[in-house]
Structure 1
Amino acid sequence: MELAILMLTVGSAVVEIKCGSIYRLEEAYTIFLNGEERGTTQKVVTSLFNLSPDRDYLLQLAGEDGSIRGEISFHTKTETAVLNVRDFGASGEGEQDDTVFIQAAIMACPPEGRVVIPPGKYRVTSLFLKSNSNLELEEGAVLIYDGRPGRLPILPGLLSGKEENSFALGSWEGESADMYAALFTGCGAENVNLYGKGEILGGASMEDWWSEENRQSSPHRPRMLFLTHCKHIRVQGLHFSMCPSWCIHPCFCSDLGIYDVEIINPEDSPNTDGINPESCEDVEIAGCHFSLGDDCIAIKSGKGRRAQENPVPGSHIQIRQCFMENGHGGVTIGSEISSGVHHVTVRDCCFRNTDRGLRIKTRRGRGKSCVVDAILFENIYMEQVDTPFVLNCFYFCEPDGRSDYVQTKEALPADERTPNMGELVFRHIYCTDCHIAAAFFYGLPEKKIKSVFMEDVRIRYAKDARPGLPAMMCGVEKMCRKGLFFRNVERLCLKGIDIRGQESEAIDAADVDVIIREVQE
């Protein structure tokens, strides 16, 4: 067993237990810190709280037989001051608006200090993060988002100034747009740790934020955590629920870590994505649990004027040891990816009861900077996933999404509006109880998918498999127990593919230039 420290603050740490398990350990381990027992864990990515600042620790994990299986030493960070929000006037009784009192503590916090929100219920609107600070929600602390229109600040989509120096603040689905401020908002913040065992309740319902009239209204719906142009941000341990829209939305950020976070929303809640890094680089998401109404993780890079004038791709994103369930997609790239996405690795994850597992969606019009390349998915288990693999270059989003230009399957001239799908690798992926299709890849005829490499992939179908559409595009018919479906690919390599129970041939490939296949049926 190997242990690795993923995150350290003044009072917490995140440890990854590397023993071959995915998300959950096969047995419970007892935690010892400096010889003192600190409970048990059965999670591969485990949080440690209630640590002292500026102190050496020896972490040891003991198995059920009492033997020490692994250990690692670490030193917590120093702190300059501790500010309790109760001392600033916050009541924690859930009745008064505690926003200004908590914000006062945040603004008064000296560099490397810590703001503590102790147990209690705190009704708040929007809080703004400050650089070089720690914000801890202790166990039993509950932030209740009082997000009624008229009470929330508005983040303008575009601030005034010279056009070449214009600064987009608010955002909605990849474009600059007015939006309500999130419960936590960071604008240009650096070196911030937001952590703890506390809860964040978004308070959304079908009567307010999720109603038909509010889904596309302007200003647009708020997030729970919105970060723009931030650096060196860490989020740990928090529980989010009932989010008005996307839960965690970092935009134009770098060096971002999100660990051991849980995001829970109803299955029918609209646009309640879990974590959506947009035009971000150096992102690590590990040990998180999602159960919600849309994509669990959606990697994006903008669209429209903002992406054309300032294309910033999403890059160097690592996702591992996560559990995704009850969403539209486990991990999605798109569809707002006009600036491109590259060097993404998703490994050691479990997907359960999602519509799609690994999903890439784009369309004509995203532009020549929309290059998706160097994508790796490996060591993933899926259960009750309708279609495990989807790449759709005809995604019918936006008002013109069903137009002939977007949806025609005839080759059009490749120009500055044409997206480009590069090299994609899928290996060591095991899927049970699939329903619609094992895989559905549909590239553009004028700009084919460059390379799809699949190795050691096992597919089994549900006995009561239900038919459905494998992708959101025009002209595709419902499928059930379909095999591997490929259209418009330059190079397709299939090695060690084990597919059983399909209703037709294992591979349905057309307009594929080169096929290398090793398939068991």
Structure 2
Amino acid sequence: MKLISYFLHRQAQLKFWIIVCVLIANKCIAQPIVSVQQPSFKTDTFNILSYGAKADGLILNTKSINDAITACNKNGGGVVLVPKGFWLTGPLVLLSNVNLHVAKDALLQFTSDKDQYELVAGNYEGLPAYRNQSPLSANGAENIAITGEGIVDGNGGAWRAVNHKKLSEMEWKKLIASGGIVNADSTQWYPSKNYLQGSQTKNAGVIVSGKTAADYADIKDFLRPNLLVFTKCKKVLLEGITFQNSPAWCLHPLMCEDLTVRNVYVKNPWYAQNGDGIDVESCSNVLIESSTFDVGDDGICVKSGRDEEGRKRGMPTKNMEVRNCVVYHAHGGFVIGSEMSGGAKDIYVHDCTFIGTDIGLRFKTTRGRGGVVENIYASNINMKDIVNQAILFDMYYAGDPSMKDGIPQVETKPVTAATPVFKDFYIDNVVCNGVSKAVFIRGLPEMHISNINLTNLVMQADKGIDCNEASNIHFKNVQLVTKETSPVINVFNSDTVLFDSISYNNNAAVLLKLSGGKTKNIHLINTDTNNAQKTVTFNAGAKESALIK
């Protein structure tokens, strides 16, 4: 068993370092790892002024801008120009071969008049659902873009509920004065009674056989649109634009091919409910580079459908690269899940910085999702002031198991198509200055998280490493500067875990705590155990033979 474990570890290391070498080589020549086809456009320009648009912030320019898009499309494509100025509009639909160019000093402001947005069949949080029409949408289009240095504003404040505790008293009073309703205990503001009714409706908006959009009219306000939804589109470019203030998610490419997001700034209030930056769902050949995210939920997120609907679709997000990006406030800097039932694979994240996010690298799922997430590579990641965990793998996103005497009370369930799988992750060169916990891994007793390789980490954290229900986990060259030193590392019901070249605080109380009767084949090598008052403790059925030095 020891020999098999050794060779498995060496094989994983070899694969990891091959990828690292590729990343280094590509960085030197500044070329993307993933090949993505770029759109191209005729130089013909269709100025929205020629179609009757007025930049007075009063008149709705919906027809004028859509007419310009249609004319551009019918004439073989080109550029639809939104010149500098304040342009109020309703929903816009992008067509093939059109580059919607929002010029510098242009503000494309979507109206707060919800009557301008029809209820349409779409997809939200991985399920088919009726939603208000997105301010920006495209369906089945090819060779499309939104470019420029202007601002696209979704007027999200008109759509979102707000929690009292997330605002100052002055902000709260101003919000109440704007209209809407407040719940009985003054903890939540709602834009309307219609919205409140929707918030109390189970599976609101989810499409049910025999129902039409008209059946959802009484909760229309609650069915907030994503700012941009491109569905089944090919050769898509988003470049240079500031996208801000989305009603729900900001950017949502769904089942698209050859997507490039470059030099965009995605901005939402930190309290924006479901205010994700970008959710790349069931897409292939994706490049996100040199972009900044400061949002109310996950920053850069990978999805592929939810539960049975996602598995039925069967379209993983794959061949994706994220590089040279910065994420400020967000629930996660780079995220996969939790709606990842169609899977995710062959994803590369490198040379990124996360500042002030709740979690840095966040991989989340739960029972019922199914789907396989594999071949995920992250390197050269800087983090500062992370609230919870720097690196998190969690298969209990739907709720934590109960605890007794510090031990999770887990239940083993049968493995089915609804059992999620996390495997084959390679994470190298992560520096984090300030975080509650350095690394947290939590699999299921029936499906361990497996083959996770973490090398060259420097973590200044309150707490060190938690590894639960996991197999073939390899830590190498990890420096832990922690406030809590009893223990520095906790392992529960995990097997074949290698700790190689671990440094930690001098005079730590306990270096390693092993718990659970299923914990075995734990290796601790090339590590000075004399720095700890006690090298290892055994708890809750863990045997001394579990540790191999």
Q: Name the TM tier (shorter chain).
A: 0.7 to 0.9
User: How many pairs are equivalent?
Assistant: 414
Contact 1:209 1:244 in 2 (8 A): no
- Code of the aligned partner of 2:503: Q
Q: 1:395 aligns with which of 368, 385, 397?
A: 397
Contact 2:307 2:418 in 1 (8 A): no
Query: What is the deviation of 1:506?
Result: 2.6
Seen in structure 2, the aligned counterparts of structure 1 residues 77 and 175 have a Cα distance that, compared at 3 Å, is: closer
Written as runs of structure 1 = structure 2, the 5 A alignment for 1:438-517 is 438-461=438-461, 481-504=462-485, 505-517=487-499
- Code of the aligned partner of 1:414: V
Contact 1:204 1:244 in 2 (8 A): yes
Q: Counterpart in 2 of 1:422?
A: 423
Percent sequence identity over matched residues?
A: 30
Which range is displaced more, 121-130 or 298-307?
Answer: 298-307
Q: Aligned partners of 1:208 and 1:363: how far apart in 2?
A: 27
Written as runs of structure 1 = structure 2, the 5 A alignment for 1:105-504 is 105-109=68-72, 110-156=75-121, 170-205=122-157, 208=160, 212=190, 213=195, 216=199, 218=205, 219=220, 220-367=223-370, 370-386=371-387, 387-396=389-398, 409-434=410-435, 436-461=436-461, 481-504=462-485
Q: Aligned partners of 2:55 and 2:158: how far apart in 1?
A: 27
Seen in structure 2, the aligned counterparts of structure 1 residues 444 and 243 have a Cα distance that, compared at 3 Å, is: same
- Code of the aligned partner of 1:396: A
Q: Aligned partners of 2:385 and 2:496: how far apart in 1?
A: 31
Seen in structure 2, the aligned counterparts of structure 1 residues 183 and 445 have a Cα distance that, compared at 3 Å, is: same
Query: What is the deviation of 1:92?
Result: 1.3
Q: Aligned partners of 1:253 and 1:176: how far apart in 2?
A: 17
- Code of the aligned partner of 2:147: Y
Q: Aligned partners of 1:270 and 1:408: how far apart in 2?
A: 32
**CA deviation string 1:405-428 (max 9, x = no partner):** xx9612222122211111111110
Query: What is the deviation of 1:241?
Result: 1.6
Q: Aligned partners of 2:255 and 2:280: how far apart in 1?
A: 8
Seen in structure 2, the aligned counterparts of structure 1 residues 92 and 403 have a Cα distance that, compared at 3 Å, is: farther
3-state secondary structure, aligned to 2:478: strand
Q: Aligned partners of 1:408 and 1:229: how far apart in 2?
A: 43
Seen in structure 2, the aligned counterparts of structure 1 residues 482 and 136 have a Cα distance that, compared at 3 Å, is: same
3-state secondary structure, aligned to 1:458: strand
Q: 1:100 aligns with which of 55, 59, 63?
A: 63
Q: Counterpart in 2 of 1:162?
A: none
Seen in structure 2, the aligned counterparts of structure 1 residues 112 and 408 have a Cα distance that, compared at 3 Å, is: farther
Q: Which runs of 5+ in 1 are unaligned?
A: 1-16, 22-43, 46-75, 157-169, 462-480
Q: Aligned partners of 1:483 and 1:257: how far apart in 2?
A: 37
Contact 1:84 1:117 in 2 (8 A): yes
Written as runs of structure 1 = structure 2, the 5 A alignment for 1:23-62 is none
Q: Aligned partners of 1:230 and 1:372: how far apart in 2?
A: 24
Query: What is the deviation of 1:79?
Result: 2.1
Query: What is the deviation of 1:231?
Result: 0.6
- Structure with bigger gyration radius: 2
Seen in structure 2, the aligned counterparts of structure 1 residues 206 and 460 have a Cα distance that, compared at 3 Å, is: farther
Following TM superposition, the consecutive aligned residue runs of length 4 or more in structure 1 with deviations greater than 3 angstroms are: 17-21, 206-219, 401-404
**CA deviation string 1:277-298 (max 9, x = no partner):** 1111111100111111110011
Q: Aligned partners of 1:279 and 1:233: how far apart in 2?
A: 15
Contact 2:424 2:452 in 1 (8 A): yes
3-state secondary structure, aligned to 2:280: coil
Contact 1:427 1:457 in 2 (8 A): yes
Is the helix fraction higher in 1 or 2? 2
Query: What is the deviation of 1:305?
Result: 4.3
Contact 2:463 2:482 in 1 (8 A): no
Q: Counterpart in 2 of 1:13?
A: none
Q: Aligned partners of 2:409 and 2:115: how far apart in 1?
A: 44
Q: Aligned partners of 1:495 and 1:208: how far apart in 2?
A: 45
3-state secondary structure, aligned to 1:111: coil
Q: Aligned partners of 1:501 and 1:511: how far apart in 2?
A: 23
Seen in structure 2, the aligned counterparts of structure 1 residues 153 and 493 have a Cα distance that, compared at 3 Å, is: same
Contact 1:126 1:153 in 2 (8 A): no
Q: Aligned partners of 1:188 and 1:314: how far apart in 2?
A: 18
Contact 1:307 1:339 in 2 (8 A): yes
Seen in structure 2, the aligned counterparts of structure 1 residues 136 and 380 have a Cα distance that, compared at 3 Å, is: same
Contact 1:488 1:511 in 2 (8 A): yes
Contact 1:396 1:402 in 2 (8 A): no
Seen in structure 2, the aligned counterparts of structure 1 residues 131 and 338 have a Cα distance that, compared at 3 Å, is: same
Q: Aligned partners of 1:403 and 1:416: how far apart in 2?
A: 25
Q: Aligned partners of 2:40 and 2:308: how far apart in 1?
A: 42
Over aligned residues, Cα RMSD in angstroms?
2.5
Q: 2:49 aligns with which of 78, 86, 91?
A: 86
- Code of the aligned partner of 1:508: N
- Code of the aligned partner of 1:297: I
Q: Which runs of 5+ in 2 are unaligned?
A: 1-25, 33-38, 163-188, 206-219, 505-549
3-state secondary structure, aligned to 2:281: coil
- Code of the aligned partner of 1:423: D
